[in-house]
Structure 1
Amino acid sequence: MESSAVKQLLSIIEQQLDWGESSRWQGKDFELLNQLILDKTKVSLSASTLRRLWGRVEYNHLPSSTTLDTLAKFAGFDNWRAFARKASPTRETTSAPAARTGKYRKTWRSAALLIIAVAMISLVAMYVRKPGPIVKGVFSFSSRPVTRSIPNSVIFDYDARVNPSDSVFIQQSWDPTTRSVVDKARHTFTSVYYRPGFYHAKLLVNNKIVKEHTLMIPTDGWLALIANQPIPVYLDTKEFIGDGVMNVTPATITKKNIPLGPQPPVTELYNVGNFAPVPLKNFSFSVQIKNDFHDGAAACEFINIMLFTDNSPVIIPLSAKGCISNLALLNGRYFESGKDHDLSGFGSDLSQWVKVDCRSAKDKIQYYVNNKLVYQSQLPPYDENIVGMGYTFQGTGSVKNITLKQGDKLIFQAY
């Protein structure tokens, strides 16, 4: 059963991604899937592991429990066991005593209903992947956040009545797993955003994007959270802002009844929508940062520094020197993986303060670690503006001396 359930889970993920036949996926598709899984689950499944799972490399063993749990979470389930329960019914024992038959029959019916639900989801997804005719007409799509705090509910207003079929979806962002079916006869849909940022919301009809717009989910000053499913654990300001430094300590995490091992949690800091936009073609940014937890599975000390723009973000990765192969840099347009790019300059002793600078220089983005130029990437060919920033840590971390400039003009400074 487990092998067939794995195939079913992979099929569901393929339908959610809607990238076409997986047999035609290229190397960069698996690299992007790796990043999507990391962003959603905070667990990295390497592109080579994903290629093995999808049969692109011969491998006759079943995936590990960690891999199965991660894939199930990415597909929208709590874990592998929760998915497997839905993927296979509990068989009724015909020799059971008569007094227990009713109980077993009820269990069978419940499991059967779950199987039907999963099958229906698959059938719907298969139907959606066969685009039907779209009647040319007027589609409308807009949104309005209800607050500046996080979590933040967003009200989407839409009109898709001219569509002849019922295949209408609203997608929260670029991530296809945030897609929700909506009633074409209605005009309102609401959704909760648990993290800030700059999103591209989409209205899809028969699997085609007919309307999309940008949507900022801001913070009211600084926000800190501990990654948790399905809802992050949010921290009070006094729990992470001290004298001249921001940090989330191990004591703060354990106080929230969140274990630090064996897999350390991810902690995150954000500030979005609280300063004037800064053009990516004329910016300089600086921060001092370190990782404060190094035990067990946190040995790689992963850190991501994010500059949110009104398009794709810039993500600067850091790790212990021995883990740079697992890094991925985003230059505002493309991912550059440590598997096929030399990102060794982003490896450092992160138990100590590390100074990171990033700036535009002609058609390049330059990255400095401890005042040394370690990497350059291409500036996006279109105009983008920095509207926020974020920091994520494997375990816990500290941040200070943040500056953001447009040319020589100081736009934002903190701690």
Structure 2
Amino acid sequence: MVSEINELQHCKAVIEDKLGWGPADGWQTADFENLSELIQNQTGVSLSTSTLRRIWGRTEYNHLPSGTTLNTLARFAGWGDWREFVKQNKPVDPPNQDATPSVVAAPAPPSWKRLAWIATAIVVVILGGMLAFDKGEPQLEKSAYAFESRSVTNGIPNSVVFTYDASASPTDSVFIQQSWDDTRRVLVDKNLHKHTSVYYEPGTYQAKLIIGDQVVAEHPLLVGTDGWSALLDQPKIPVYLKQEEFLRADGIGTSISIIEEKNIALQPEPPLIKYFNVGNFEPAALGDFSFSTEVKNEYSEGAAACQLTYISLLTDDAPIVIPLSAKGCVSELNLMSVDNFVSGKKADLSALGVDFSEWVRVSCAASGGKIRYAINGRQTFEFPVPGRPIRILGVAFGFRGTGSVRNVSLQSKGKSVFDAL
């Protein structure tokens, strides 16, 4: 049992080093959400956020993960399965080069009783190890469950009505989860069929029906906007802006005075303001698209000295996230190109450090199986286009403090699908 625990600890260390997010004891809920998404995208297996939190010791759990979970972790770490990981990472004691051969008396052959005892002990250890590795919930038949949803309006906030059938559940632990965020997991009655939830932020979500800790049904869910929407991010419920408070003739942006009118302080922690346009244009295929825009972060006081900014293309899969900052803060950035995640802690992202005293032009385009990113006309990064079909459904911008956007353009297969501001 001790060796299995050590092997799991080593596997977690390999994953932590691969991610480059720093020590896991400093990870937040969003980090486990992102890890869950990355694992599913790479392996095709869904490990819930709560499972990952248990594995990393955030909640009490006295058993080793199931064999399926261990195989998935090993695959994400870069091995074929858990057995291959264990085999290739088993420590080997080096030979003692300085030892002098010596003659020792051969031990007396053991009695048959001792042999029987040893054989019994070996069987017990092997069976115990197998039980420890395979212990977990029995796999449920997913076809026995149904799950669908619909939005009640177009815009945010927005209520979503879930219709489900979990009557086949062997337990009362039936949950509906709004997205990958397990803090949005709600216990529902397995004998009922309706549940409603409020979505306070637009975007693409993966709603889940969960029995115990198994996802038995899930589907993508689009929460769109009525044109452009803006909000100031807050811990519980965002503060929404009226269109006249951020829509301008030459673009979008808001002022410090409007933020202060909402009784939100800009110091010591500047708010994150977000702009969205989701579900208002024909979806663009990720394999052949081009996107461009210009942004400017207009606030650099106090704790906002890094001028952290992001541009995101929201898809029906994982997003594209292009971060920007003042030149001295690129270590804090994380670039995401659907399946590819690059941390500023582990790679040189200096091309994403910019001078926000001028408008910054950001573009990306896919062709020939590659997505290429450029800042002010200079290509900076390139990543492969995922092999599965993915569509761009929305755009989003975020500024720590205040910021502006103009000249947003999205084309699909050479045809314009969205031009604004």
When normalised by structure 2's length, the TM-score is 0.71
Cα 1:257–1:340 shift into 2, 3 Å: same
Cα 1:22–1:234 shift into 2, 3 Å: farther
| Equivalence map 1:203-282=2 (5 Å) | 203-282=209-288
In structure 1, distance between residues paired with 2:416 and 2:233: 32
Aligned-partner residue type, residue 315 of structure 1: V
Q: CA deviation at 1:177?
A: 2.9
SS in 1 for 2:217: strand
In structure 2, distance between residues paired with 1:188 and 1:210: 17
Q: Which has the larger radius of gyration?
A: 2
Residue number in structure 2 paired with 1:169: 175
Residue number in structure 2 paired with 1:360: 366
Question: Would you say the 8 A contact 2:268–2:303 is kept in 1?
Answer: yes
In structure 1, distance between residues paired with 2:219 and 2:29: 30
Structure 1: 5+ residue stretches without partners: 1-19, 33-45, 55-69, 76-121
Q: CA deviation at 1:341?
A: 2.2
The answer to whether 1:133 aligns with 2:138 is yes
Cα 1:28–1:253 shift into 2, 3 Å: farther
Q: CA deviation at 1:178?
A: 2.2
Question: Would you say the 8 A contact 2:204–2:223 is kept in 1?
Answer: yes
Aligned-partner residue type, residue 196 of structure 2: T
Cα deviation 1:59-93 (Å, max 9, x = unaligned): xxxxxxxxxxx959999xxxxxxxxxxxxxxxxxx
The answer to whether 1:25 aligns with 2:12 is yes
Residue number in structure 2 paired with 1:181: 187
Question: Would you say the 8 A contact 1:278–1:387 is kept in 2?
Answer: yes
Question: Would you say the 8 A contact 2:317–2:390 is kept in 1?
Answer: yes
SS in 2 for 1:238: helix
In structure 1, distance between residues paired with 2:292 and 2:274: 18
| Equivalence map 1:6-17=2 (5 Å) | none
| Equivalence map 1:283-294=2 (5 Å) | 283-294=289-300
Cα 1:313–1:181 shift into 2, 3 Å: same
Question: Would you say the 8 A contact 2:411–2:418 is kept in 1?
Answer: yes
Cα 1:287–1:358 shift into 2, 3 Å: same
The answer to whether 1:402 aligns with 2:408 is yes
When normalised by structure 1's length, the TM-score is 0.72
Residue number in structure 2 paired with 1:384: 390
In structure 1, distance between residues paired with 2:18 and 2:149: 31
In structure 2, distance between residues paired with 1:311 and 1:73: 17
Structure 2: 5+ residue stretches without partners: 1-6, 33-58, 67-134
Question: Would you say the 8 A contact 1:225–1:233 is kept in 2?
Answer: yes
The answer to whether 1:47 aligns with 2:21 is yes
In structure 2, distance between residues paired with 1:375 and 1:123: 41
Residue number in structure 2 paired with 1:298: 304
In structure 2, distance between residues paired with 1:72 and 1:140: 28
Output the aligned Cα RMSD.
Answer: 2.8
1:330 to 330, 336, 343: 336
Q: CA deviation at 1:227?
A: 0.6
Cα 1:343–1:395 shift into 2, 3 Å: same
Q: How many matched pairs? A: 321
In structure 2, distance between residues paired with 1:29 and 1:279: 32
Aligned-partner residue type, residue 171 of structure 2: S
Q: CA deviation at 1:351?
A: 2.9
Cα 1:180–1:26 shift into 2, 3 Å: farther
Cα 1:249–1:407 shift into 2, 3 Å: same
Q: CA deviation at 1:407?
A: 2.8
In structure 2, distance between residues paired with 1:390 and 1:411: 16
Give % identity: 43
Cα deviation 1:324-375 (Å, max 9, x = unaligned): 1111111112321112222111110123210011101312111111111111
Residue number in structure 1 paired with 2:149: 143
Aligned-partner residue type, residue 259 of structure 1: A
SS in 2 for 1:47: coil
In structure 1, distance between residues paired with 2:17 and 2:224: 31
